Structure 1
Amino acid sequence: MKIETITKKDGTTVYRTAVYLGVDSLTGKKVKTYVTAKTKKALKSLSDLKIAEFERNGKTRLRKKVEFENFESLANAWLEDYLLTVKSNSQAMMKSHFKRYIIPALGSYKVEKISAPLLQSIVNDWAKKANTASISKGKRPAGASSNYGVLLNTVQRILDYAFQLGVISNNPARMVIAPRLKARGKQKLKYLDKKQLKAFLNYLDSLEQTDKNVFSVTLYKLLLDTGLRIGEALALNWSDIDYNENIIHVNKTVDRLGKVQDNPKSKSGVRDISVSKRTMLMLKQWQNRQRVLHQKYRLSTHIVFSSSVGGHLSRGCVSRTLDTHYKNAGLALTGFHAFRHTHASLLLNAGADYKEIQHRLGHSKIGMTIDTYSHLAPDKAKETASIYEQALKNLG
């Protein structure tokens, strides 16, 4: 340590030295500072104190330390920024995670007192509840989410935020491991097989031609014919329907509350879907009926599946009606995704190319299409077995 002796104007002597603190974790540059003390011993102590302070601050001088009353106040500060970067569905899910898991488990703790053992015990408890919970209709009860790995990741991100603000010198959540989720067998996809599909279509055709029934039948058949997600279908405007080219332009979706999102689930969700003339005729007939209804009610003439007050429908409104139709048709199904899976199954068994199916469904990767739907093509599997058998015979 090079020490400089300085004589002040009043005749007193002080000692000054340059202290190398280390490499700044945010800039990557070497950092040094100067300390001054009345004695060499005090100079050494003050130098050590500056180095320790630099370490506690995450090895950076750019962060200004911010104080939070507890983890809940920190988490809410992080959440406020996070909500500005994601769509409404992700916002709703994160708020649910906060309310049901993260804040009850950690909210009252002082941020600097949160340790890796504490977090590990919390994550272990989440995992235990998920692994021991009874599953009904493919779902675990509230408070037993299987996404505890996502919850841990969220806590990590919140504590990273605390580190960036200088609240903590390291992130204990990064030393925590999420236990493995117990395998309980792969959940089967819900879809209509040939017999069920025929029965359901016959049921739809037998319904009285009321405005409400025609609305529902048009929606259901469109989903079966295109493989659209329900949010994508509810977001359609008539300007998205190209009658000349028999194409539907998919470029937006609605969230669970009926709020329009400017783009679908992913970039690959923006796509054009070719449909049959039969489907286009069905849509044209519904559009003509909708124009008549507009004279009676406030039904929009711009939105394909408008609410009674002229806006976009929420998924919940149409889901309840669908479940009633399923029940009346004698089918033990729920939800709209069965139509999407049925569409994929029909295409696969008819020999459609996986790449084309990927495009129609709006999957970002073809592996997702193959992994999800390959087992829904029993006819193709039988065909493959026959081809193999014939190949053996050809060996002579």
Structure 2
Amino acid sequence: MADIYRRCGCRDGAGKAYGPLPDRATQTQRAAACPVLISDSKHGSWGFAVSGGTHAGSGKRVQVRKMGFTTKREAQQERAKVVDQLATGRYKGDQKVTLGVYLPSWLDRRLLDGLRPSTGHQYRAYLENDIIPALGAVKLSELRKSHVDRFIQTLRAEGRGATTIRRIHATLSSALSAAERLDLVDFNAAAKIALPAASKTKAKIWEPEQVRTFLDAAALVRVGPLYELTIYTGLRRGEVAGLRWADVDFTKRELVVRQQRVQVGKVVLEGAVKTDSGQDRRVSLGSEAVAALLAWKLRQQQEHDAWGAAYQDNGWVFTYEDGRPLIPEYISRTFDTLVTKTGLPHMSFHKLRHEHASLLLSGGVDIAVVSKRLGHSTIAVTSDLYSHLLTDANRAAADAAEAMLPPRRGVAHTSHTLDA
């Protein structure tokens, strides 16, 4: 077929569609075309055909045909665009794939590329419960900022929290950024969308006296040493659940965080810890933390003896009576029950990590050390989370700097001398 041609919807006496009429038609092509096309230059519409390159997915030769142009010039101009896009690898074709089809495949690819299963679980929930129901029918190539903005406004009208909305938006934006990198779309339609401001909330935790009350109560339950260790080390729930005896060195009084056990729905997965800086980090242990672990080790040995051959000894530190590792959700659920019984203000298990940071900062420990113990990706993360706890540390630093100087030899400053 020629590059530029006219065509109509007419049929011959046998009901067969007429062929196209190329711009420079041969005698044979003129004979196969609609007679009206030959006699009336306004009959039918203009179109073009371009062949070139291969499809990135199928490897098949790309054949582009488009009709419906009013004039020959319009067809020529559009053809020139397509030729340029094919030559530079920017041709996207007549995409029919919708967000409902693209988004799950994007997430599956992310998981194959190493996205944490727990993060993938949260992304999938956002896709299935929020994004796809609202935007799934929209073609990927036709998604515009107005669609995304309307979606965000709907979430706000439904009363969704600012943090949740920002997380949903981040999921969509990440997927569209991937589409942009792959030249599936020309731009990320979720970029530069106005989002509700997420207010930074201070970590509300117990006072030291309340921590002691909790620890006294925890001493009366089987897994009390787990909560004691968490307060004294700041380990995440998954890190405590993933701790093995091989990672504990009583001689050096330290433990190494090598893996975590996280719960995705009802499935528990083992893997690397949350951040690269948190992976294989060494956390020193104080006397009470060591004592808690030794007491737990003794109890675990007694349970091992009681269960005999039925005991599942796989080297985990915190286990059920039969040696099976504790399910992360069990750790949180037991903690909530214990807090309720003590009558203390409600606090999530994760806040024990904040409790550890608070104790360190109140004790004047450098924030860089705190950040390293917690396994934060940067000191900035630690500072943002605990800036409200740094006032006393800053004041102590100011006093310490002045204390390093020898006594003043002249007259000390007074309010009178300052006013002079």
TM-score (norm 1): 0.73
Q: Is contact 2:319–2:326 with CA below 8 Å preserved after alignment?
A: yes
Post-superposition shift, 1:382?
6.7
Amino acid at match of 2:168: L
Distance 1:51 1:88 in 2: 46
Equivalence for 1:179: 195
Which is higher, the Rg of structure 1 or of structure 2? 2
**What corresponds to 1:273 in structure 2?**
283
Contact 2:162 2:198 in 1 (8 A): no
The CA deviation at 1:236 is 0.4
2:413 is aligned to: 395
Q: Is the 2:249–2:255 contact (alpha carbons within 8 Å) kept by the matching residues of 1?
A: yes
CA distance in 1, matches of 2:249, 2:171: 43
- Determine the structure 1 residue equivalent to 2:233: 226
Is 2:76 the partner of 1:77? no
Alpha carbon RMSD of aligned pairs, Å?
3.9
Q: Structure 1 residue 246 and structure 2 residue 274: aligned?
A: no
Distance across 2 between alignment mates of 1:344 and 1:56: 55
Aligned residue type for 1:222 = L
Code of the aligned partner of 2:197: L
Match of 1:102 among 107, 124, 131: 131
Instruction: Tell which deviates more after alignment, 379-388 or 311-320.
Output: 379-388
Q: Is the 8 A contact 2:303 2:321 kept in 1?
A: no
1:123 equivalent in alignment to 2:132 = no
Once residues 267 and 227 of structure 1 are traced to their aligned partners in structure 2, the CA distance between those partners, rounded to angstroms, is: 17
In the alignment, residue 127 of structure 2 is paired with which amino acid? F
Q: Deviations over 1:149-179 (max 9, x none)?
A: 4433433444455567776x53461566133
Alignment of 1:1-396 (within 5 A): 47-54=76-83, 60=89, 67-68=96-97, 70-85=98-113, 86-129=115-158, 133=159, 144=161, 146-159=163-176, 170-171=186-187, 173-174=189-190, 177-181=193-197, 183=199, 186-205=200-219, 207=220, 213-214=221-222, 216-257=223-264, 259-270=268-279, 271-294=281-304, 295-296=306-307, 298-307=311-320, 310-376=323-389, 380=393, 383=396, 394-396=412-414
- TM-score norm. by structure 2 comes to 0.69
Q: Is 2:172–2:190's contact at 8 Å kept on the other side of the alignment?
A: no
* Distance in 2 between residues matched to 1:194 and 1:260, nearest whole Å: 34
Residues 1:221 and 1:157: Cα distance change in structure 2 (over 3 Å): closer
Q: Which runs of 5+ in 1 are unaligned?
A: 1-5, 11-25, 27-40, 134-142, 208-212
More contact order relative to length (CA 8 Å, sep ≥ 6):
1
The change in CA–CA distance for 1:152 and 1:312 in structure 2 (over 3 A counts) is: same
Secondary structure of the residue aligned to 2:298 is helix
Distance apart, 1:110 and its partner CA: 3.7
Give the whole-Å Cα distance in 1 for the aligned partners of 2:350 and 2:181. Answer: 42
| Cα distance in 1 between the residues matched to 2:175 and 2:84 | 20
CA deviations 1:230-271 (Å, max 9, x no partner) are 111110011000112111001211212463443211111020
Residue identity in the other structure for 1:148: I
Structure 1 CA distance for aligned equivalents of residues 109 and 139 of structure 2: 21
Q: 1:191–1:338: 8 Å Cα contact kept in structure 2?
A: yes
Contact 1:293 1:299 in 2 (8 A): no
Q: Name stretches of at least 5 consecutive residues in structure 2 with no aligned partner.
A: 1-23, 29-55, 57-70, 415-420
Identity %: 26
- Counterpart of 1:37 in structure 2 is none
**Could you say what secondary structure the match of 1:249 adopts?**
strand
How many pairs were matched up? 343
In 1, Cα distance between equivalents of 2:104 and 2:157: 27
Cα separation, partners in 2 of 1:125 and 1:225, compared to 1, 3 Å: same
CA distance in 2, matches of 1:91, 1:50: 42
CA–CA separation in structure 2 for the residues paired with 1:237 and 1:372: 29
Shift in Å at residue 190 of structure 1? 2.7
Deviation digits for residues 271-293 of structure 1 (CA, Å, limit 9, x no counterpart):
00111244223212312321231
Secondary structure in structure 2 of the residue aligned to 1:254: strand
Q: What residue identity is the alignment partner of 2:202?
A: K
Q: Please give the per-residue CA displacement for 1:75-104, whole angstroms capped at 9, x wherever unaligned.
A: 222222122230111111101111221011
Closer/same/farther in 2, CA of residues 260 and 115 from structure 1, 3 Å limit: closer
